[in-house]
Amino acid sequence: MKIEFLGTAGAMTTPRPLCTCDVCKEAREKGVPFSRLGPSIFIHGPNLLIDTPEEITVQINRSSLNQINGILYSHWHPDHVMGIRVIESITADWIHHPEHPEAINVYLPEQVKKDFATYIGTDKHLTHLERQGYARVVQLQDDDRISVDEVMIQPIRLAEEYVYAYLLDNGSKKGLIAMDELNNWQPSEQLKEVDIAILPTGVFEYHPISGERKIQADHPVLKEEATFEETIKIIDQLKAKKVILTHIEEADQLGYLELKKIATYYNNKGYNIGFAYDTYKVSV
């Protein structure tokens, strides 16, 4: 199973437009692995893309992808969906008329489909893409599994009920991919001891090494988002053989090298954790 990180930021890219902080300055100067675009992951083999941030076209162009068999969405939030028009960029074609690339399957877990109709109008974008023959929506019920190129894929609803992780099983290896929002989540037995878990980093209330407080104790983000400390507790319960953390916010003010030090700090305590960076590929 080979997984490629197309983008490893969260809602704020690094560099953040117009920001002159040290983390953004370094990212602007050096690029990848210091810079991060919006959250998106690709699973080689079944060739499935998870989530389409605004920068997805650029991300695919700089990646090693040569085919996309389908797109899975984790939830409706703008940082995960607003590049959905990439479907048109890939399939629109008037040079080879009447032949044109096939419509791309868009897999929507049941709550995601409902939320696409409730919030920022993503259902209308999709209806337009379907009408043009570019997309084909496939709804997944919560108990559904799909099999693509002999990989079983199961949506897993998280504690924040509008968000799904995906469990992948190719017969010999299992992987769990959660794009965002682990707040209050407790993994079920079925998800424990997978070969690889890809999880959102969470927000850094404290610097894990120095212990310095980084977010004010009364800030509402601490109620809305899982913190890094809470994510570590989930990692303790999951007991995955390997963990890669992604969805790294510029606002956490931790650059690529600082995150490397944090990973080493935990790995010296017996963890097997790494922080993803844009274009990073991992095989299990």
Q: Of 21 and 92, which CB lies nearer to Zn ion in the complex structure?
A: 21
Q: Which of 53, 1, 38 is nearest to 177 (CA)?
A: 1
Near Zn ion by CB under 5 A, which window of 86-94, 172-180, 201-209, 236-244?
172-180
Q: Which two tokens stand for residue 197?
A: 């878990």
From the list 280, 236, 233, the residue with the least C-alpha distance to 260 is 280
Least distance in angstroms from the C-beta of 244 to Zn ion: 16
Residue 190: exposed, middle, or buried by beta-carbon count in 10 A (0-12, 13-18, 19+)? Answer: exposed
Looking at the Cβ atoms of 149 and 224, the one nearer to Zn ion is 224
The residue (of 5 and 134) whose beta carbon lies closer to Zn ion is 5
| Residue with Cβ nearer Zn ion (19 or 103) | 19
Shortest distance in whole angstroms from residue 38 CB to Zn ion: 8
Q: How far is the CB of 94 from Zn ion (least distance, A)?
A: 35
Three-state helix/strand/coil letters over 119-153: CCCHHHHHHHHHHCCCEEEEEECCCCCEEECCEEE
Residue 108 CB, shortest distance to Zn ion, in Å, is 17
Residue 83 binds Zn ion, judged by CB under 5 A: no
Nearer to Zn ion, 169 or 205 (CB): 205
CA distance 166 to 177: 5
| Residue 82 engages Zn ion in binding (rule: CB under 5 A) | no
Q: Kindly tell me which of 79 and 115 has the beta carbon lying closer to Zn ion.
A: 79
Phi, psi of 196 (to 5 degrees): -145, 135
In the three-class reduction of DSSP (H, G, I as helix; E, B as strand; rest coil), residue 116 is classed as helix
Cα gap 284→279, rounded to integer Å: 17
CB 140 within 8 A of CB 147: no
What's the CA gap between 20 and 151, in Å, rounded?
A: 44
Q: Does 79 bind Zn ion (CB under 5 A)?
A: yes
Between 11 and 138, name the residue whose CB sits nearer to Zn ion: 11
**Which residues within the stretch 225-284 sit at the binding site for Zn ion (CB under 5 A)?**
none
Encoded one letter per residue, x for contact with Zn ion by CB under 5 A and - for no contact, window 3-42 reads -------x-----x--x-x--x------------------
Please identify, using beta-carbon distances, which residue of 19 and 137 lies nearer to Zn ion: 19
Q: Minimum Å distance from CB 103 to Zn ion?
A: 27
For the bound state, the minimum distance from the C-beta of residue 113 to Zn ion, rounded and expressed in Å, comes to 19
| Whole-angstrom distance, CA of residue 102 vs CA of residue 69 | 10
Q: Which stretch binds Zn ion (CB under 5 A): 72-80, 82-90, 208-216, 264-272?
A: 72-80
Binding flags for Zn ion, 173-202, as an x/- string (CB under 5 A): -------x----------------------
Inter-residue contact 26 to 34 (CB < 8 Å):
yes
Burial bucket for residue 69 (CB in 10 Å: 0-12, 13-18, 19+): middle
Q: Interface with Zn ion by CB under 5 A: which residues?
A: 10, 16, 19, 21, 24, 79, 180
